Structures are given as C-alpha cells and as structure tokens.
Structure 1
Amino acid sequence: MSIDFEVEDGIAVITINRPEKLNAMDADHYRGLSEAWVRVRDSLDIRVAIVTGAGERAFTTGADIKSFIASPLPYSEMWLTQRDQLLNRGLEVWKPVICAVNGLCLGGGMTLLMGTDLRVAAEHATFSLAEVKRGVIPANGGTQRVLSQLPHAIAMEMLLTGDSIDAQAALRWGLVNKVVPKGEVLAAAKDYARRIAAAAPLAVQAAKELAIRGKDMDLTTGLRMEQLINRVLQATEDAREGPAAFAEKRPPNFQGR
C-alpha cells in the first residue's frame, strides 16, 4: 500500500502509487488518502495540494472491487460517518486542490476529481462513472456533484449509461481546465500550484470557502458573508504586505498571518 506524500515550496503532491492495479484503491489506500487530506488541511507549511496517480496508465480507477467483494464491510460502517473522511466525502479542506489526471479516471477516480478545484488531464485520459454497470452507484459524491459540474444531459448520460468520455470532451464540457500531452500533466499542475502558492494563503482559502458555501446560500447571505470575511482579512498582516509589495514593485512575501 502506498499513498506517497511530498511537500516542496508550499505545494503538497499526493500520489496514489499502485500502478500495477491501475491505482485502484483498497481500504488501506482509502485510509491513507484520508490521512493525507488531514495533513494538507492541518499543515501550515502547505498552501496547495496536487493529487495524481503513479505511472501514465491511470489516475485511479477508484475502488478495488475485488478487495471489497472479498472483505465486505459490516453494515455498522454505514453509521461511522466521521471515520476516514475523504476530500469528496465530508472532510473540509479549504486549501486549493489540483487534480493531475494521467490516464484512466474511472468510478471513484471521477468522484475524487469532482471534489477538487482545478483539473489537468493528459490527452489520453478517459473519464467515466461506470458503477451502474457493476450494480451499484457512484458514491462519495458521484450522484450529488455530477449535475452541478456538467450540463444536465451530459451528466445524466454518464451517470445512467456508465459510458466514458475522452479528454477533449471533458475539456469541452468544463470538467477539466486543461489538456496537455502525455507526460506533461504533473508539470502543468505544478504551474497552477505555484501561482496559487504565491498568492495570500488566507485570502485563497477564504475565497474557496465562500465560493463553495455560496452554492447552498441565498445571494443576500452570501454577499453578507463576503463583507464579514473581507473585514477579517483586512486586519491581517498579509493585507498590509500585498499593497506594500505592489507600491515597492517587488513580489509579496505572504506569511498567512
């Protein structure tokens, strides 16, 4: 089992490292991924995270079905709702997360992708929610997020047929931000990450939280929340550093304070 975790210059790179199984995840991998997200959430030296898969064949094909069939979870697990939370199921991570899709993005890979903020895909990547072909549904947010991230008819086609789309279709429908040649996915993701890491971290996290929470608020409440959070940010050291750096024509040195 391997969920690799590296941090450099404020950027965490999380790699699902099981290429011999197309980076499919058993219970141990899901647990390791949950621990990685907690580390991203709680580490002050991390400003942005990238999640990817090892090799060039797959990002992840989601749950390792054979392992779960061989060792089904007891029904009592259904009510352990705070246990081993994931980015796409319950865990609140306000630091931006970038998905680097280096191949197959299927099932749980798709639901993980839909829990991220920016997505870069290799030109050979494919995407599908194929669970209905296996007698189950795309859990961990698959049925709950797809209609808000794709046009209704496209989302329902993927959800109800289980058929896949290619990288160019994913780009056309806005599921990913960019499609790049094979082998350049991580570099493109790191380019996004460096630009985000250079911005004021408190402001970045506040912007993400407001945007996501705003989907469940009426506009008047959302606008009021913006006012309140902006007032808090104006009292931070970073809010003084930004204008000072601009006036002095130098890069800002944001500290997240």
Structure 2
Amino acid sequence: MSIDLTIEDGIATVTINRPDRLNALNQEHYHSLSAAWIEVRDNANIRAAIVTGAGSKSFCAGADLKEFIPNPPGAGEMWLTQTDQLLNRGLEVWKPIIAAVNGWCLGGGMTLLFATDIRIAASHARFGLPEIKRGIIAGNGGTQRTLMNLPYPLAMELLLTGDDVDAETASRWGIINKVVAPDELMPAALEYAHRIARNAPLALQASKELALRSRDVDLATGLRIEQMFNRFLMSTQDASEGARAFTASRPPKFIGN
C-alpha cells in the first residue's frame, strides 16, 4: 500500500495504492505523494502525468480521518509551510496532469482533482466534499479551489451540504472533461496524455503557467508576461524544430530545449 510512480514513453502514472481504505491518505502517503509530484516536476524525461487510484472503487477518499483526527499535528507544524507540499497545496508543477477518476473522489481527492488540468471519469465515479459532515472544512485548497472550478452557487452547494454528485452531474457542471466506461478510463487518459506530450514541452509548461498565473494578475500584466515568454520560446531549439517540421510536413522531434 503506497504511492506508485511509473514512467513510460514520457508519461508518468501516479497511483494512490491503498484500495482497502478507498485510497484515503495518511501522513506517510502524503509524504510519498509529495515526493512523486517532485519527481514529475523535476524529471526532464516526463512530458505529462496521469494520477489515478488503485482498484475500481475509489480515486481518492481524501485524508484518512480515522488517523488524522485522533492525532492532529502539533501547533508548531502550522508554520512548516514547505513540508510535504502537494499539487493542490503549494507545489508548482507546470507539466500537464490528467486525472483518471476510477470511483469515489471525495474530500482531498476533490481538491487533488481541482489541481489537475484534464479530468476523465469512469461512469460510476462520484464527487463530493463531505468534510462539513465531519465537523471540519475541505482542506488542502478545498475552500479555495472549489470556487475557481465552479460557479458560486454550485461550489457552495458542494461545500455547505457535503453531498456528493454522480459523474454525469460533474460533467454537466464542468468539473470533468469526459465520462467513459470503467474499462475505457485508462486508455482514454493515456490517449490524452500522449496527444499532449507530442507537443513542445517548454511551450506546454509555459502555457500552463501563464494560464494559471492569469488568475492573479491584471490583463495588461498577463499580456506582457505572455509576450516575454513567447520571445524566450522563439529562441529555443524546439521552436526551430517546429518550424522545420512544419515546412517539411513531418512530425516534430522536440527535445525540451
């Protein structure tokens, strides 16, 4: 029972592997998940990543409250803000990340989902933020990212009722991109990953970073940063290769430089 990381053809797959607890995360799992995301961030051979859960019942049920509530962290840990950073809590990973939701997506599983870029769900998946029913709040970005992903009344419905919704509702609300049959989930996620990974890796990361930072800057500043990023990218070997490949009507061979 662990966080498993595999890499094949430039695609990393991060699997939350604790199916007996619906892939709920204890402190050890959070530590391992942080390490996996750092590897995705820093490994130049990785072009894109998929995150999923082991088994067929659950993507991630969030924090294992049976372990966390009786044993809360010490007060001093409140200020250890760089410890075990996560995709949905502080860690900046600009490579594209695809969620393959294979069942329950609850609590911290939802906030993890909200920190991904493309989201595919099996038809039996369900989504919710039930923390309010347990006397706590949706942490690790739950109260922050929900309103970034949903219109206000829908976000507040999830946050304040704690109820879950099915995959078709999640699709209609815009939480996920596509609903597929369970046996089509990973093939669909891999198809997205390979389609994305064929593009220039520096341009992919720049596009993601600019899009996310646009939420925090005014339009004039965002346009200026975009211009500077593009000037930088035009000087790269990948940009030259992209032009050559287009002229020769052949697929480009990008190297991330």
Bin of the TM-score, shorter chain as denominator length? over 0.9
- Measured in 2, the distance between the counterparts of 1:83 and 1:169 equals 35
Q: Compute the displacement of 1:73 (Å).
A: 1.2
Task: Deviation per CA, 1:95-151: give whole Å up to 9, x if none.
Answer: 011111000000110010001111000000000001000000001111001112111
| Counterpart AA for 1:192 | Y
Cα offsets for 1:144-183 (capped at 9, x unmatched) = 0111211111110110000111100110111000000012
State whether structure 2 residue 175 is matched by structure 1 residue 175.
yes
Query: 1:22, 1:57 within 8 Å by CA — same for their partners in 2?
Result: yes
Q: Report the counterpart of residue 50 of structure 1 in structure 2.
A: 50
The ranges of structure 1 where at least 4 consecutive aligned residues each deviate by more than 3 angstroms after the TM superposition are: none
Alpha-carbon offset, residue 187 of structure 1? 1.1
Supply the distance in 1 between the matched residues of 2:89 and 2:56 (Cα, whole angstroms): 26
Aligned residues: 257
TM-score by length of 2: 0.99
**Secondary structure of the corresponding residue to residue 184 of structure 1:** helix
Q: State the shift of 1:185 in Å.
A: 1.1
- 1:32 equivalent in structure 2: 32
Structure 1 CA distance, aligned partners of 2:164 and 2:71? 28
Deviation digits for residues 48-67 of structure 1 (CA, Å, limit 9, x no counterpart): 01100001100010111111
| Partner in structure 1 of residue 60 of structure 2 | 60
| Structure 1: runs of 5 or more not aligned | none
Of stretches 101-110 and 68-77 in structure 1, the one that deviates more from structure 2 is 68-77
Cα displacement (A) at 1:70 = 3.6
Report the Cα offset of residue 247 of structure 1. Answer: 1.2
Q: Corresponding residue for 1:86?
A: 86
Cα shift at 1:69: 2.6
Please give the alpha-carbon distance, in whole angstroms, between the structure 2 residues aligned to 1:224 and 1:194.
Answer: 31
TM-score where L is the length of structure 1: 0.99
Instruction: Tell me the equivalent position of 2:204.
Output: 204
**Aligned equivalents of 1:207, 1:35: Cα separation in 2:** 24
The residue identity in structure 2 corresponding to 1:63 is: A
Contact 1:105/1:125 (8 A) holds in 2: yes
Instruction: Note the 1:127-142 alignment, pairs <5 A.
Output: 127-142=127-142
Does the Cα contact within 8 Å between 1:23 and 1:61 map onto a contact in 2?
A: yes
